[in-house]
A and B are shown apart, each in its own frame.
Chain A
Amino acid sequence: MAAAIKQPGWIRGALGALLAAAFGVALVYFLRKSYGLDAWQTEQTGYPQVVVPLVTAPLGFLAGFGCFDYWLRWAAGMPTIPENHDQHGAKSWKDYFRFNTDHKVIGIQYIVTTFFFFFVGGLMAMLIRAELAQPGTQIVDAATYNSLFSTHAVLMIFVFVIPVFAGIANYVLPLMIGAPDMAFPRLNALSFWMLPLAGLLFVGSFLCPGGAFDAGWTGYAPLSTGAPLGQSFFNLGVQFAGASSIATALNFLVTIITMRAPGMTFWRMPLLVWANLSTSLLVVAATPFIAGAQFMVLFDRALGTQFFQFAGGGDVISYQHIFWFYSHPAVYIMMLPGFGIISEVISTHARKPIFGYRLMALALLGIVVLSYSVWAHHMFVAGMFSWLRVPMMITTLLIAVPTGIKIFSWLGTLYFGKIHTYSTAMLFALAFIVTFTIGGISGVMLGMVPIDIHVSDTYFIVAHIHFVLFGGSVFTIFAGIYHWFPKMTGRMYDEKLGRVHFWGTVFGTWVTFIPMHWVGMDGMPRRVADYATQFGEWNLLISCGAFILGACQLVFLYNMVVSWRFGPKASANPWRANSIEWLVSSPPPIFNFDEIPRVVGGPYEFGVPGARHAIMAGEGAEVKPPEPAVAGTST
């Protein structure tokens, strides 16, 4: 037992959490007593005896779990424990439940954790659709309903879509650039372990008096500043998810910039690497804004500051500006990594170089720049300065141009190729082009101020965001999971079940989200637990679609779990792809490369006689020597 307390791990982690929580409670107790106040405060926005431990306990857990051991010893001048790499790699399933610094283990940890929250959030969506299947109140009351859709959105955004991309990239990206690991493996592990804590805070808010946070994922002040305790769980959960995001993005930036294999110039990077470079640029600069916004709300709630209290000189609308300055770039944070995945999948399965590779990379950077200048299109009817609307409309519509470039380039890639559709990954990639085009079109409509005045805050918005986030991001996530499943697990998944999942998901997506456009334009507002009876039939159809969609995800889950355990063994390169991760075994060796690969050409040289993307140091006699990339060529 004593040894277990000394060793980093779950026991020391639990102990750390308990001690830190006790410290937090004691701090509140003594401070309040010394001011002559009651020890416990139970007004709905306050609860310092809960809020302070919510900060200290997760930190205590992380410290106990071992996230800071190496750094603390080093900072304190103590002899650091020599790195014997026993925190590296996974020999049994138990190693996934440790502080593990192997990017491949962390990638799997991310993906499994985020999919856990995907299913929890999906269950909430099922409850929402069950309530909305008929007009009137059947299953949950209005207050619970508000909590359900708020938590659904927050789980899907902050602990599914954003981090699952970090998980896929964590696994694939270092392999793809020929690196042995991420630049900062310990920071990488810390980033991961903050994520389940964020998810626990979000889900745990259901235990609060007054229920889970219910001001929507947008948490607009002053509704959020006056909301019950659950809102503080949201404010703090976002801090952990955000810190995790920022640290990972920094890690990706340094990894991509400094750790590419010899010969991999910027113009030889696969588009997935470009996509994660772009995403990371967005994350590091934008995420602090939502962290700040949520701290301001928390301070307004718990400390009596007046950031968003008009009676105290605060400004209500500034919350929305700060919030959307993050949350609009966030939609690209949730989309750009997917663009990268689609490029890899389509090029590989069409056996064709990406059409217009450089313009594809530049389009990503164009989106990064433009996405910082469009945030106020979420606020056309919010009562902000009305002169700001037209410039924001123009930038919003312009962002359709780089996005269109990507769609057309993927289509161009298919031409004169040899398209293979046996892989479920390719099916999702192709379907993504269609669904994302629809989401893009409705996005352009929403960007136009007069149309937006009518349809903002209606089901049209719900339809749009689900077409871009489900039909867009989640389709790319499925494509990525199927594509790299053999690499990650060393086994093949079942293509038949993959097809069932694919067709059910496509069908469910259309039946669920297309009619939402119509009821929205016709007058059904969003975020309502009940609606006019005229929308009853459409809503019943939407709910049926949603249940089909939900059921199909169970097929996916079954396929993944069973194939991981029992699937046929995968070869190193089952898709005959070009990039470096396919040069090593499936799953890759513990330190990725026994010898450092050398990059000798572009990433998508399908059909070019004798061309290779990368070679291992030992070979190379039979291939042409590396040529420096020359401007104006597409190699």
Chain B
Amino acid sequence: MYGRLPIAKMLAVTVVLTAVMSVIMLVPNWDGQQASTAAPKIDELLDVMIVLSSFVFSLVMVMLVYALWKFKAKPGDESDGEPIHGNTKLEIAWTVIPTVIVLFAAAYSWSILDDIEAKAEDSLRVDVFSQQFAWSFDYPGFDNVYSQELHVPVDRQVEFKMHALDVIHSFWVPEWRIKKDNVPGITTTATVTPNKVGTYQLICTELCGFGHTTMRAKVVVEPPAKFRKWVEGLTKKTPDEYLEAIDDSNAEEDLEAVGAGGA
């Protein structure tokens, strides 16, 4: 009975609609400016998902609109539809095909995740302190100098070790596509390789109280020489009570080793 449906035409419309939607949806730069090596990879994953999603959405819309156009009851028609209870082949198809698609999406995401989280040998460590409602930064490689602005050199991996001093905060620089919660009592880690000189904004994305909205910090990505000059010009040392929060024995990776049974 499905021979009665113009399957080829419906598929063609779906493909055309997918193409049109994809093109329209791929033009804007949804995630904003890219300023780290991770950003283009995450955006590429998003682009693939936009195409896949356009296909799924187009398919559903074509199926729905065709059904409404073709099988709408005539006024006064009180008869029933055809007693079709199902079609095993079709049901297997729409179970198996989406399974394959989502497993592909999962594998692809996993490879991107490993890629963006790969650790470099020469990364620069910066300790991040968050508290209601301010950020501050400690540079352990430079005699623990302290700043309330975040400066990092361009094209070098930065490893952030994050410490929350009161409640949970979250570290997000949208242009870097990196986000990580700062959790009281443990040290969390995020790595990023900024690759574009400029000034950005660090945004707190975990609700932390009435000042959450304004918990921002200035982020400056600059050439290595300029960064060195800036960091060596800092005179203020990180206060001791902040340094006490640095407890690497409680880092996320160690917990991970425990949680994974030493794996």
Chain A interface residues toward B at CB < 8 A: 141-143, 146, 214-216, 220, 222-223, 226, 310-311, 314-317, 350-359, 381-383, 385-390, 393-394, 397-398, 400-401, 404-405, 407-409, 411-412, 414-421, 430, 433-434, 437-438, 441, 444-445, 448-451, 453-454, 456-458, 518, 521-523, 525-531, 576, 605-608, 611, 634
Contacts and interface: CB of A to CB of B under 8 A. Distances in A.
A393 B106 CA distance: 7
Contacts of B168: 220, 222-223, 316
Nearest to A461: B205
B76 to A, nearest CB: 11
A456 B116 CA distance: 17
Given A143-B210, A530-B213, A350 B71 contact: yes
A496 B73 CA distance: 19
B116 A316 contact: no
B127 to A, nearest CB: 15
A522 B259 CA distance: 35
B223 interface: no
A407 B60 contact: yes
A397 B103 CA distance: 7
A310 B184 contact: yes
30 contacts: A141-B210, A142-B211, A142-B212, A214-B209, A316-B184, A350-B71, A350-B81, A351-B73, A357-B86, A393-B109, A397-B102, A398-B102, A400-B102, A401-B95, A401-B102, A411-B67, A412-B87, A416-B1, A417-B67, A417-B82, A419-B71, A448-B45, A450-B45, A454-B42, A457-B206, A521-B30, A523-B32, A530-B213, A605-B83, A634-B86
Interface in B26-42: 28, 30-32, 38, 41-42
A450 B170 CA distance: 16
Nearest to A226: B167
Contacts of A310: 184-186
A577 B239 CA distance: 73
B249 interface: no
A457 B208 CA distance: 12
A462 B253 CA distance: 30
Contacts of B211: 142
Q: Chain B interface residue count: which class?
A: 35 or more
Interface in B56-101: 56-57, 60-61, 63-64, 67-68, 71-73, 77-87, 90-91, 94-95, 98-99
Q: Which 10 A-B pairs have the closest CB atoms?
A: A310-B185, A417-B81, A523-B174, A607-B80, A634-B85, A383-B188, A414-B67, A457-B205, A607-B83, A397-B102
Given A404-B98, A418-B71, A525 B103 contact: no
Interface stretch (B138-146, B175-183, B229-237): B175-183
Contact of B256 (A226, A385, A434, A606): A385
A453 B177 contact: yes
Nearest to B86: A356
Nearest to B102: A397
Interface string B1-45: 100010000000000000000000000101110000010011001
A317 B95 CA distance: 36
B175 to A, nearest CB: 8
Given A356-B86, A525-B205, A449 B113 contact: yes
B85 A357 contact: yes
A393 B105 CA distance: 10
A414 B64 contact: yes
Nearest to A317: B183
Nearest to A518: B30
A350 B252 CA distance: 54
A400 B98 contact: yes
A316 B186 contact: yes
Nearest to B164: A316
Contacts of A418: 71, 73, 77, 79-81
A115 B79 CA distance: 36
B199 interface: no
Contacts of A317: 183, 186
B214 to A, nearest CB: 7
A126 to B, nearest CB: 20
A390 B81 CA distance: 45
Given A526-B205, A576-B78, 10 more contacts: A310-B184, A351-B81, A381-B181, A419-B67, A449-B110, A450-B41, A453-B42, A522-B32, A523-B32, A525-B205
Contact of A450 (B32, B77, B109, B166): B109
Contact of B57 (A416, A441, A608): A441
Contact of A397 (B106, B162, B182, B260): B106
A397 B105 contact: yes
B171 to A, nearest CB: 9
Please indicate which of the listed interface residues A354, A408, A420, A433 has the most CB atoms of chain B within 10 Å of its own CB.
A408
B255 interface: yes
Given A430-B64, A448-B49, A522-B31, A437 B83 contact: no
B172 interface: yes
Given A355-B85, A385-B260, A420 B91 contact: no
Contacts of A449: 109-110, 113
A415 B45 contact: no
B207 interface: yes
